[in-house]
Structure 1
Amino acid sequence: MEKRYKEENKSLWKISELISRAQKPEQVILGISKEAARLLNGDSSFIWILQEKNLNLVKGYKLSREYISKISLKIEEEFIKKNIKINQTFSSSNIEKDSRIFLPEILKKEGVVSLICTPVKAEDKLIGILTVFSKKSKVWTKRESRIVNMLAEQTAHILERMRYQKHLEESSIRDGLTGLYSRVYFLTRAREEIARSSRKREYVSFLFCDIDKFKAYNRIEGYTEGDRLLCQTAKSIESSLRKEDTLC
């Protein structure tokens, strides 16, 4: 019993260390996926997180690309249809005889016999799934259920914190009205691009735009309409940019 608690504490310490080092959500979920497999004596693991703008986070540990790709698409389809209703941890000691399991034929190719799956929730909203697989027929214990729940909670907490930090960073360098980058950010990026172009002996271009008679437009139409015009102009220019362009 004492050895188990030591293992759990060691894992929590590793996750805390991972959080302090990780700069991207992908690093976090891969690290948690590995720890989940290790702590539960699993052979592999999988984590899928719903993100904004359909940029879902998906990481598999010791799973083939085929399985990761197919199960990701299946989960995404079910999320869109709102068919996924995982409110609590569930386990299966034999996936072939369990109708709840997605794509059992693909899992069988991976050598998976049993699994334990838990929802990842943020503010009681389902945002993802964490699953640990075993190549043996296994009855998952209450302790293992508690651990996988704990890891799912850690995942949700970490991702929410990273999302909030990103929001704060974006807010500090973007204009509150148009959403474009601020003057401070422009000056920083301009210095970086000029330095880069000098090193590589390449050209860098700056395009300055102005709205003719904007002051008069504000006076006649009112500041609300002036703000709307600024936003429309920003959106119009932004839609024609290349990936490497920056609009401030």
Structure 2
Amino acid sequence: MGVPARRHLVFLAGVGVFAFSVFLIFQSLAQLRTTLHPEVYLQRLSLIFAALVFPILTTWWRFKWIGVNILMIFLVIPLVLFVVSVTKISVFFWVYLAYAILMLVLYRTEHQFENQLSMILIEEEKLQDEINNLEVVFKAKGEGISTFFEKYSTYYNLRKLAEELTMSLSWTELAQKTVDRAMDFIPRGDYAKMTLARSDERNLPVVASRRMRPVGRWTAKQGDLFDFWCIKNRKRLIVMDSQDDFRFALRENDKRENLRSLIVAPIFFENRVSGTLAIHATRPNVFTHEDLRLLDAIATLASSAISNAMLYEKTEQLAIKDSLTGLFVRRYFYERLKEEHRRALLNQKTMSLIMCDLDHFKECNDRFGHQGGDLMLVQLAEILGQSLKNALLARYGGEEFAILLPETTKAEAFKIAEGLRKTVETTPFHIRREKVGMTVSAGVSNLPDDTLDIELLVHKADQALYRAKREGRNKVCVSTS
């Protein structure tokens, strides 16, 4: 029940009490007038009127209605004066006066309380507005702090990745580490890969990959049309749904793989796009432009690290491989020979060494010049590489070549050397549009049949080679213990 309804109800109750009191007054006047002494009769009548005054004053103090005020003025004051004049008892006047003063004090107190309550409510509304404003500010600052921590986390991860990429000089290891970290930083993807074109951009092999979840029948070993698009346009790429992107016409095989959304970033080597770093997902609309920027930053770090690793590998290859034939140089071959020598002695294994060179090489040099001689050496190195897949090959000096055969007996080494001699004898060498027949001589030594000393092993193979030369060339000789 609302406040207005309650006030009306109380007012009606007060009117009812007042009417009932008036009825009792007249009834009492009719009954008591004949039975009581007039003075006693008037005293009781005064008490009845005094009881009537209480609800009137209470109603006026609580609700302050104009009608009640008028009723009090025209009823209470004459009633009090009448009671005092008839009963001759002045105490009623002072009681009524004290009661009226009390009502006024209570009214003023309530009025002040209501004013203070109104001020408190106003202050409460202001405070609530300030609280709401502070909540908005704190929410905005909270979002800003959250964004700051996300950016800081990204920066920290990139810095950590940069440190990790400087700890390796193997470009294949760096490529795999880059792909792994890309999937860790952007975990919404299902498949990540890196492609690198060493020389020809039309051949774009996948050099590292990682799957987070099964991705159809995905077994790609080459870059796809998205990688080639990235290389051609020299910029990063984001595809929300590959089946609805007008830039690409997918083949049926690509659609069956169900790779829907992807991000691709180019990898630059010396201002040339040499590869890509890509993350695919089987669901559409997975990646954001923020993910693409992060992937591009990872690709930039990887570009520098892998480029340095490839340069180091190239420098190392130049240091340990002969620039003409591509075989190992004598110094590196000797280091490997010492390693295999220690391993053979430790494990009590056998090891064979073949020394060979081209017959009549000086005459060929005189006939075709040094360039022709170089072509002969290159073609002989190719024959050695094709014939001896598991051997350690080196250009030992000039036209002399060394072949190390771990865990190979002397008889097996002789058979290998003889097969090599026959292959060279039957293979024409192409020099200046001429086909030239060449032969080789070879010497074979073995550990432990001939010696346990590495220096003597090389010396005995050389002696066997020179004996083959003396005995007419195009021959294989074995060392005698």
Is the TM-score greater than 0.5? yes
Cα gap change, 1:165 to 1:63, in 2 (>3 Å): farther
1:27-176 → structure 2 map (5 Å cutoff): 27-52=173-198, 56-64=206-214, 67-69=217-219, 71-73=220-222, 75=224, 85-98=232-245, 100=248, 103-107=254-258, 114-133=261-280, 135=283, 137-138=285-286, 140-141=288-289, 143-176=290-323
Please name the residue that 1:10 is paired with.
Answer: 156
TM-score by length of 1: 0.79
Whole-angstrom distance in 2 between the partners of 1:118 and 1:101: 20
Whole-angstrom distance in 2 between the partners of 1:146 and 1:74: 21
Residue 342 (structure 2) pairs with residue 195 (structure 1): yes
- Residue identity matched to 2:333: F
What displacement does 1:167 show?
A: 0.5
Cα gap change, 1:66 to 1:239, in 2 (>3 Å): farther
Cα gap change, 1:123 to 1:67, in 2 (>3 Å): farther
Aligned partners of 1:47 and 1:128 also within 8 Å: no
- Residue identity matched to 1:214: F
What displacement does 1:75 show?
A: 2.4
TM-score by length of 2: 0.44
Whole-angstrom distance in 2 between the partners of 1:74 and 1:178: 32
Please name the residue that 2:332 is paired with.
Answer: 185
Larger Rg: 2
Q: Which runs of 5+ in 2 are unaligned?
A: 1-146, 395-481
Deviations 1:81-115 (A, max 9, x none): x997453222233344235386243235xxxx533
Please name the residue that 2:29 is paired with.
Answer: none
Please name the residue that 2:86 is paired with.
Answer: none
What displacement does 1:65 show?
A: 7.2
> Percent identity at matched positions?
21
Please name the residue that 2:15 is paired with.
Answer: none
What displacement does 1:235 show?
A: 2.2
Please name the residue that 1:225 is paired with.
Answer: 372
Aligned partners of 1:67 and 1:107 also within 8 Å: no
Aligned partners of 2:231 and 2:266 also within 8 Å: no
* SS of residue matched to 2:208: strand
Whole-angstrom distance in 2 between the partners of 1:162 and 1:217: 40
Whole-angstrom distance in 2 between the partners of 1:144 and 1:83: 16
Whole-angstrom distance in 2 between the partners of 1:73 and 1:221: 43
Structure 1 range deviating more: 196-205 or 216-225: 216-225
Cα gap change, 1:26 to 1:212, in 2 (>3 Å): closer
Query: How many corresponding residue pairs?
Result: 239
Cα gap change, 1:191 to 1:45, in 2 (>3 Å): same
Whole-angstrom distance in 2 between the partners of 1:177 and 1:30: 32
Cα gap change, 1:17 to 1:83, in 2 (>3 Å): closer
What displacement does 1:9 show?
A: 1.9
Structure whose residues are more often helix by fraction: 2
What displacement does 1:41 show?
A: 4.9
Relative contact order (C-alpha < 8 Å, sep 6+): which is higher? 1
* SS of residue matched to 1:206: strand
